[in-house]
Structure 1
């Protein structure tokens, strides 16, 4: 493990540690082989074609919950699954704290057509591994989607792939185990062991080059990306490597034939943009055209639903995503212009680059100013201070959402608006190099943080909130805005329980310290001259957080 710079024991368990998550000393655990080989190199990705197979999952309706009195302070309940001859006891988290209660739990489904006790035995006969599948189904899969009124897409579309693909299953084990390890829960088999097994299995799948393997390959890579984002091993570039491999496979067969392929491609394109914004590079994929990203619902979702305009992974930001994609390319374009100026390139080249940067920046700013989330039928936000933002999106066909749905919709709506205002902050600071104290920067910083705070207040999905929260938090200067930042980070950290959130909060606090120290100094701008010859100096620098993360030796993906 030291070769990777990763040591689960080096991380202090959070205050909500689940050290009582225990497994009985059954013979199969005592005899398990915990040794592992050195992880294979990142596999090369050949051209793979898609698959057409899907099948429906039955419900596990007779899982019996026992020991209600064993609940601890964070809402964890000990449960028992019995099967006459054997009793396997695991501690199964039902909710982290009361705000998860508003999310109706989806039925735990099995990828086989018959059910075997104890629960999840169709995946493995080892109790500790069954507990990992349970954690993935009942905790993790709910933390990373916006919509699941008819089922969770990770259970509906990804879990069935484990029936034919052990790399997918090992990637699920790795992700679930890493999530528990960060919370202080140790398993006899470490997440790095499962990660190694998934990498080796992925290499074998790629070597087979079979059309039927396309979805298994993409699902394995996607889960490995989630794993790398969660564990945050130093300044690793494995996320970019996995994204390149996945996009190579998707471009080979650009037309997905089934819901699984569509869902996986949507997940990759989301992470492609988030990784580009996080690393200061252009996205690997081409920008989607306006209107081409339709909301992707869970399987079986009713057409007439209060969540009909909500995408599973993008929430209400589906129509905003093409703008965000173009925004993420601007830093690279600005870097090219700066390099041309510093290298004394020809005046014509500098002029072309400057014109392209200015025109693209103006177009993105105008698009952000016009954009509003398209509200689902029957939903009108309660927040009076934002009523002007939704006035042009009043519903026609009224379908009254329930109280729980309204709370969830409010979180999703605020999340989308936080993306919009943080996009302005990113544009002004990282691209146009406005001062931190600039009125436009502070206005959008404040509004983004208000929306982030409202997202966590309504206790809805928070899986995609880290980027807008982080971008706005780095520019917070007032006591009010920093208070909003701290409250939002605490809620998101407690709900999601992932290392990149903790690392992002550490970077924000260091940025505040350095920016406050430099506040009295005049900036040495990194700005680019405008067409009028003026220069916007940045003071402490719009990307001070990138310098801080480099010095801390970490690379955070804000997704």
Structure 2
């Protein structure tokens, strides 16, 4: 049999995943676990826990759905994980009497499982403890639990067991203290704002402390090979933290840091983590490019370093992710398919080429018509998801991309009938997505931004204002306020300047954003 060492298992047992070894997937016990004597537990294909963290060959941690004062995680055995991973009939007796051993604690609670059918009350055979979690105090356990239940779960459009903000991050912070754990603590503390968290310090103060600690730890471990994977994930979360705190332009520094790590340590980093980081930054940079001016006015000329940065970023992403994707599956991390993301990037590139006169106008039109046809074909295919929210989000991205294409490549003003018709449909989808009391999750910010930028009357502006009002109420800590402030500035510039009337200036928002130096992350 082929040597099982050297290649990490993607769908094997938990032990092989933890040791980053290939699993032969023989059931009930794989060859590796038979040889090493470990407990062999496989994730259920259709009914798996959202994530299970292995802290030892026979010990696992599962997050609670509800906050527990003494601990944030349930420390359990491999056998209990196997039991929880199986479908249970509602009439099944409590697992405390199923032969797994005497119950050491009477605590019962709901576990964070999906979509396992479990009894309403479960008595498990292990006590609640914080074993395996290296935290300095109970407050930090609560902050980690908040990340699991709220922040990590809301970083995607649709919650699945593929949520990499949980499955990639949690296993790496539970067993060691480092920049990634400090960043998670900073993210949670930042959302608690004025609430006292520990030692009388409010959340925003504690968030600044943890962020400073994370940056220091990251700097000290930056060039250590063994820390590269954790450091790369830290760059992703630090960028997310800066974006959520007003879309600070410093998120681009973390992008640079991530690529520096990939250039030096890529062979030693888990490919799943690499792909996660690349997709995270590429999507945000793709949307940022839609705000770059096509023609830089002489008085606001782009510096050589900034121009080099734009060129370098585009070069990095194309080298690392290759040719445009043909995968039309909707990504729960972005809210649209990779095809739509590639089309948006191509529109920006095409607009730049058009203004630079690097290709003929005829070729520009041919490529633009081809992109328009691709958008239509995508719309004629039913979305490959049963999640209505995710499907509506994908459609909002498609209609926003179509509007962007008409303005950037077909030179249509925002009062053109075709743009107004698409704007109306786009707003219909956005009003289905952004509603009061919506469960907290990602929402399509870029389509909402495009809708705001292409308002041609007060009625359209009023509809956009209503959506931002809902978002600001439901997302008090995010980049909603920053994007809303940018849109108000764009509207005011149009109202006050005759030269920036919407009927004559199609992409005036790009010049305004560049003039003020904003580096928006429209996610």
Kept in 1, the 8 Å contact 2:393–2:429? The answer is yes
Kept in 1, the 8 Å contact 2:221–2:227? The answer is yes
1:263 correspondence with 2:242: no
Q: 1:202 aligns with which of 200, 212, 218?
A: 218
Q: 1:223 aligns with which of 237, 247, 250?
A: 237
Instruction: Name 2:344's counterpart in structure 1.
Output: 324
Residue-by-residue CA offset, 1:130-187 (whole Å, 9 max, x unaligned): 2321221111112111233447432222111123460111121222233333999933
1:80 correspondence with 2:69: yes
Q: 1:311 aligns with which of 331, 346, 352?
A: 331
CA, structure 1 residues 269+523, in 2 after alignment: closer, same or farther (shift >3 Å)? closer
Q: 1:370 aligns with which of 355, 359, 377?
A: 377
Q: Gaps spanning 5+ residues in structure 2: where?
A: 1-6, 10-15, 19-51, 54-59, 73-109, 115-124, 294-309
Residue-by-residue CA offset, 1:265-301 (whole Å, 9 max, x unaligned): 3323322323333455564411653545475xxxxxx
CA, structure 1 residues 517+243, in 2 after alignment: closer, same or farther (shift >3 Å)? same
CA, structure 1 residues 463+63, in 2 after alignment: closer, same or farther (shift >3 Å)? closer
In our comparison, the structure showing a higher alpha carbon Rg is 2
User: How far did 1:466 drift?
Assistant: 0.6
User: How far did 1:254 drift?
Assistant: 7.5
Mapped partners of 2:388, 2:132: distance in 1: 39
Instruction: Name 2:509's counterpart in structure 1.
Output: 544
Kept in 1, the 8 Å contact 2:155–2:333? The answer is yes
CA, structure 1 residues 59+107, in 2 after alignment: closer, same or farther (shift >3 Å)? farther
Could you state the TM-score of these two structures normalised by the residue count of structure 1? Answer: 0.61
Could you state the TM-score of these two structures normalised by the residue count of structure 2? Answer: 0.64
1:472 correspondence with 2:451: yes
Higher relative contact order structure (alpha carbons within 8 Å, sequence separation ≥ 6): 1
Kept in 1, the 8 Å contact 2:156–2:333? The answer is yes
Kept in 2, the 8 Å contact 1:508–1:545? The answer is no
User: How far did 1:452 drift?
Assistant: 1.1
Which segment drifts farther, 319-328 or 218-227? 319-328
Instruction: Name 1:452's counterpart in structure 2.
Output: 430
Mapped partners of 2:402, 2:452: distance in 1: 13
Kept in 2, the 8 Å contact 1:221–1:242? The answer is yes
Mapped partners of 1:176, 1:474: distance in 2: 32
Residue-by-residue CA offset, 1:14-56 (whole Å, 9 max, x unaligned): xxxxxxxxxxxxxxxxxxxxxxxxxxxxxxxxxxxx9888434
Mapped partners of 1:360, 1:464: distance in 2: 30
Mapped partners of 1:427, 1:203: distance in 2: 42
User: How far did 1:496 drift?
Assistant: 3.4
**How many matched pairs?**
398
Residue-by-residue CA offset, 1:171-222 (whole Å, 9 max, x unaligned): 21222233333999933843233222222222233322x1x43321220110
Where does 1:425-440 land on structure 2 (aligned, <5 Å)?
Answer: 425-440=403-418
Instruction: Name 1:401's counterpart in structure 2.
Output: none
User: How far did 1:548 drift?
Assistant: 5.3
Kept in 2, the 8 Å contact 1:421–1:447? The answer is yes
Instruction: Name 1:410's counterpart in structure 2.
Output: 388
Mapped partners of 1:363, 1:267: distance in 2: 27
CA, structure 1 residues 549+450, in 2 after alignment: closer, same or farther (shift >3 Å)? farther
Kept in 1, the 8 Å contact 2:71–2:141? The answer is no
Where does 1:168-179 land on structure 2 (aligned, <5 Å)?
Answer: 168-179=180-191
Mapped partners of 2:281, 2:17: distance in 1: 20
User: How far did 1:410 drift?
Assistant: 1.7
CA, structure 1 residues 315+187, in 2 after alignment: closer, same or farther (shift >3 Å)? closer
Mapped partners of 1:148, 1:461: distance in 2: 11
Instruction: Name 1:242's counterpart in structure 2.
Output: 254
CA, structure 1 residues 312+499, in 2 after alignment: closer, same or farther (shift >3 Å)? closer
User: How far did 1:491 drift?
Assistant: 3.0
CA, structure 1 residues 54+177, in 2 after alignment: closer, same or farther (shift >3 Å)? farther
Instruction: Name 2:43's counterpart in structure 1.
Output: none
Mapped partners of 1:501, 1:169: distance in 2: 26
Instruction: Name 1:285's counterpart in structure 2.
Output: 317
Q: 1:515 aligns with which of 479, 482, 494?
A: 494
Q: 1:139 aligns with which of 150, 167, 182?
A: 150
Instruction: Name 1:272's counterpart in structure 2.
Output: 285
Residue-by-residue CA offset, 1:463-494 (whole Å, 9 max, x unaligned): 24111101111212345433431232233333
Mapped partners of 2:413, 2:195: distance in 1: 39
CA, structure 1 residues 119+516, in 2 after alignment: closer, same or farther (shift >3 Å)? farther
SS across alignment from 2:69: strand
User: How far did 1:450 drift?
Assistant: 1.4
User: How far did 1:415 drift?
Assistant: 0.8
User: How far did 1:541 drift?
Assistant: 4.8
Kept in 1, the 8 Å contact 2:472–2:481? The answer is yes
Superposed CA RMSD: 4.0
Mapped partners of 2:407, 2:414: distance in 1: 7
Instruction: Name 1:161's counterpart in structure 2.
Output: 172
Kept in 2, the 8 Å contact 1:178–1:230? The answer is no
CA, structure 1 residues 278+61, in 2 after alignment: closer, same or farther (shift >3 Å)? same
Residue-by-residue CA offset, 1:242-280 (whole Å, 9 max, x unaligned): 223323444564897554443333323322323333455
